[in-house]
Every structure is written in structure tokens, then in C-alpha cells.
Amino acid sequence: MSKFRLFIKTVSYGDTIKIPFMVIDQIKLSREVDILTLVCKDARTISLCRNPSIGINKSDEFSMFITKLKELVEPRSIKDSFAYDYRLAFNYPDDGWNLFDPVKYYGKLLKNYQIDGKPVWCISEVNKNYKISPTYPSCIVVPTAASDQEMLKRVSIFRSKGRIPSLCWKHPTQPITITRCSQPKIGIAFNSSTEDKHLIEAIRQSNPLSPTLYLVDARPKVSAIGNVIGPTQGGYEHDYKNTEMRFLNIDNIHAMRDSLRSLFGLLFKAFLLTYDDSKWHAELEATAWLMHLRRLLSGAVEIVELIENNHSSVLIHCSDGWDRTAQLSALCQLMIDPFLRTIEGFAILIEKEWCSFGHKFAERVGHTTEVKKKPNEKSPVFIQWLDTVFQLLSQFPTSFEFNEELLIFIADALYDCRFGTFLGNNEKERKVFKNMTVSIWSWVRLEENIVAFTNPLYDPESTEVLWPSTGARNIHLWENYWLRHDPDFRPKYYSPLIRNHMTKVLNQQGFPHEIHRRPSDSNSSPTSPISTPIATPASTPSSTPIPTPTSSLSSTPLSQSFSIDNFGMN
């Protein structure tokens, strides 16, 4: 063991399996058949068969190993994770935490946007020190005409978790905006708020190009209605003037968790030699994972149509505004704004829409003992969004400065807890980690790493709006991510023609580099983005883990059980 990961030397193949501790979701010990099973968050299930000459009950060394492993896999606090140790070992300038400065970002975004000589939007301090909403950013942007702090405080009472309508993006050349929030507390009494309506009207009036503000609810309409009479006493805006409601029919976190659990089950089953390949496509569709991707992308396309074709501003929310809202808002911005398709812009997008606006990374991933007590809060929301970004990248390969490897690296970093970026549930919690952990963007932006994440096919002049196809024929499984542990999988490397072209382009840009393999992996050494072969499942556990993926290439048959001669503690 190291402080970061577990090393397992296999007898049969001579390979070394490397698993970051925080990637392990469950440890299962079968004393009857001497098998230790590690169920991982990245879809792997690794079964280790103890040498039969050493009984499990008799081995003090093995008991010590299990005890130590559990301590590292389930830290009591996130402060016990490897991110804190990695900060001490990181000897590079750590400027990633300062990449997204909301005051500078919104100031630049809204520069010179005035009506009758007055700024249309302003930065409000109503949530300074997180007074009205601990899950919201401290710096929020609201219309100048509705910026009175007392009024905004009353709006926060009417919105779930105090998450009031706030600007997150403005069109690069037009007064069109995307704002986001949580659901209103309508309840069975059909409550209303004069202050909330005033704020919504001010948002509508900030865009003189359209008389209508579209209120986009990510949920199915029946769910929004159900929330009116449910324990949240929520609902949707049913009587706001000059607005139009749209429901996108995207299911909740529980449906996504179940869908990915089904996908994990299929991936494991397909690894087995007895699997009937003729059932693959039907069973993949039955997991509903691709269907959910299509719905999410279709919803984003609908919003972009309202912005680009109707020239209308859009307000997006779901229930609490930190899952589906983040997915849709970030997707729409990627499709419209070419800056956000650069490496720097993509990092800012994640910091803004996911970290600053309070996506609950800690609960959705479930790293510590404390958050594991809330299994219903776990869900692959962020991984699902990365999957939709991959779908865009696949359909528009010259429109993104970054490549698939960056997406995989980010997905792996979500689980291995090397960086502080995805720790905590909101900006307020994450402030504690800032001085004690490394930002993922500090690592990504190192010169020797950024080359591996750069897409040589990128055309900086490709600034058009992206209109992806959301048909079933064009939304496909992210194979280099989901199938990388399958020993029969052949990674989708670049063809020789494209590979030679990419190598030539990189050399012309002053980066001696040969495109020949996949870079990046959480299982590689902390100083190299190059991936390392990883072994894969041997037998299915009694219950499938709650999904959420990450990790590396597979090189070992899944049906192989490993005989461990020695559990090293070094």
C-alpha cells in the first residue's frame, strides 16, 4: 500500500493492479471460499483469491491488511483523504484555485451592457458569507432593477434552499441570458411571491429582443405537480406574466442511479465467456443509460433553439437546482459559446456551473463514512454530464480544444480524491480545502500535461453553434471509458492517417509528441498522465454498487481469480 492506492501483484499474469483507495466502494470478504472482493465506483469488481495454504482466519497479516484497507477506503472525514497529502508533494505553482474569479468573469461578461446608460445586471452581496443560501455562491448576479437586498431575501424564502434566480451566462454578442435557480415553494396552498415575480419580470426585461422569458423545468411535468403536494411543498411557476413554461422530462437522481446500476450489471455480464453477444444492443438500450443521455441532449437543444432562434432568455431549474439544472445550463453554454470549448473555458465552466453553484459532489459520489450513510443521495450526475460532453466531442471533433483524454482524466479525478476540486458539497465547504489541497486545474495546465489533453484537430475558427443529433443512431456508448476494463475491448485509437497528421501538427506547434496511446489515468503515478493497465472483475458481488465510473485500461481476463502470495504493506 501507498498513501494513495493499493498495489496487487498477480501470480498468474505478473501484472500489478493499482487501485486508488477512494475508488473502492465496498469491501466484501467471503470466509467460506477465501475470496476478498473489491467493488469499485468505476464499474470494476476485483476478486482476490487467498492462497489456500494460508487460511484467512489464521492470518494475522491478512487481518491487519483488511483493517488498514477499510480505514483508507472509508475515511471518517474528507480531511483524511489523499488530497491533503498530495498538497505537500505538489511542487508546482498552484494557480488552479484562482482560475475562476466570479467578479472578473461576470464583470467581463457584462461589460458595456447597459440600457439607457444604466447597467442592466449587477453583482449582489446579498449572499455574502452565505447568509441567505449556504449552498449558493457568495457572488451572485441579478438585474439591477431587482437588486434590493431586502427584496432578494424575501425571494430566497420563497425558493427551495434559498437558491434564487441568478445569472450564470450571457450571450457573447446579444442581451440574451441563462439564469438558474431552484423550484418555487408553491405548495398545496398555491403560495405566490410578489418579490419573486418582480425578479422574474426584471430578468425578462433585461432582454429587449424577446417579449417572452422561457421558464424551463428539467423535470417531467407530473413530477413538478407532485412536488406541489409532496413534502418539499414545491411546484412550478404557473401564473407568471410574459413567461412560458417548458418541461424537459428528465428523470431524477434515483432513476439515473438505477440506470447506471443496470449498465454496470450489463458490463459485468458481457465480460463473461458465456455471454451471448447478440443480446448486447438490446440489453444496452434496456439499461436506459443512452435514453437518458438523449433526453438530456434533447433538452439542451430545445433551450439553445429558444436562445438562438427566438432570441429569448431562459431560466432553468429542477427541484433544488444543483443536478439537472447544472447539466442543462453547462451543456447549453458549451453548444453556444466557443470560449467554453477551450481548455481554460471548460475548466471555468465546471468551476462556475458545478462547483460554485453547489453541485453536491460529496454526497453524489459518497466518499466518506458520513456521506455513505445517505445511499439515496448517491448518483452519477456529473459523470453523466461528462458523457454528454463526449457525445458533443464525437459529433464535432474540430470544435473543442480539449480531447477525450481530458474528460477521462476529470472523471477519474472525481473518485480518486487526489485533488480538492471535487471535495465538499458547495462553495462554502470547498473554501476550507483551498489552501490545503491542489486544484485539478493546476495539474491540467502544466505544460507537460496540457499537450496530452490538447486536440490537434481543433479549429479555433470553429465558432458556430453546435446542433447535435440526438437520435438513437448518433448517441452511442462511451467505449473508451465504459469498456476500458473489458479484455476483449480494442480502444478506439486514432487511425494511422489521423495519428500522423496530429503528430505533425503538434511538432509544428513546438510540442515534440507522438500520438500512439491513451494518456491520463487516476491509476497512473501522481506525476504522469499516462495510463497504466489495470485488471478487472472476477465474480459478481451479491449486490451491484451504486454507480459512478473512473479508472484505466484492462489487460486481464475478468474470469480470472488472483492468488495472492503476500499482502505487502509498503
**Residues annotated as catalytic (active site), given as ranges:** 318
Total Cβ atoms within 10 A of residue 118: 9
Q: Length of the chain in residues, anyone?
A: 570
Half-sphere exposure of 543 (CA within 13 A, CB side): 7
User: Does the annotation flag 289 for ligand binding?
Assistant: no
Query: What is the spatial distance between Cα 406 and Cα 212, in angstroms, rounded to a whole number?
Result: 38
Joined together, the cell numbers standing for residue 387 give 458523457
Phi-psi region of 187 (alpha: psi -120 to 50; beta: other; left: phi over 0): left
Strands (E), 297-443: 314-317
User: Does the annotation flag 467 for ligand binding?
Assistant: no
Q: Cβ(356)–Cβ(350) under 8 Å?
A: no
User: Does the annotation flag 253 for ligand binding?
Assistant: yes
User: Does the annotation flag 259 for ligand binding?
Assistant: no
User: Does the annotation flag 319 for ligand binding?
Assistant: yes
User: Does the annotation flag 524 for ligand binding?
Assistant: no
What is the phi/psi pair of residue 123, to 5°? -85, 125
Joined together, the cell numbers standing for residue 368 give 466518506
User: Does the annotation flag 251 for ligand binding?
Assistant: no
Half-sphere exposure of 146 (CA within 13 A, CB side): 25
Query: What is the spatial distance between Cα 101 and Cα 230, in angstroms, rounded to a whole number?
Result: 38
Query: What is the spatial distance between Cα 458 and Cα 509, in angstroms, rounded to a whole number?
Result: 13
Query: What is the spatial distance between Cα 461 and Cα 355, in angstroms, rounded to a whole number?
Result: 29
Query: What is the spatial distance between Cα 542 and Cα 256, in angstroms, rounded to a whole number?
Result: 21
User: Does the annotation flag 354 for ligand binding?
Assistant: no
User: Does the annotation flag 117 for ligand binding?
Assistant: no
Annotated binding site: 252-253, 318-324
Annotated binding site for substrate: 252-253, 318-324
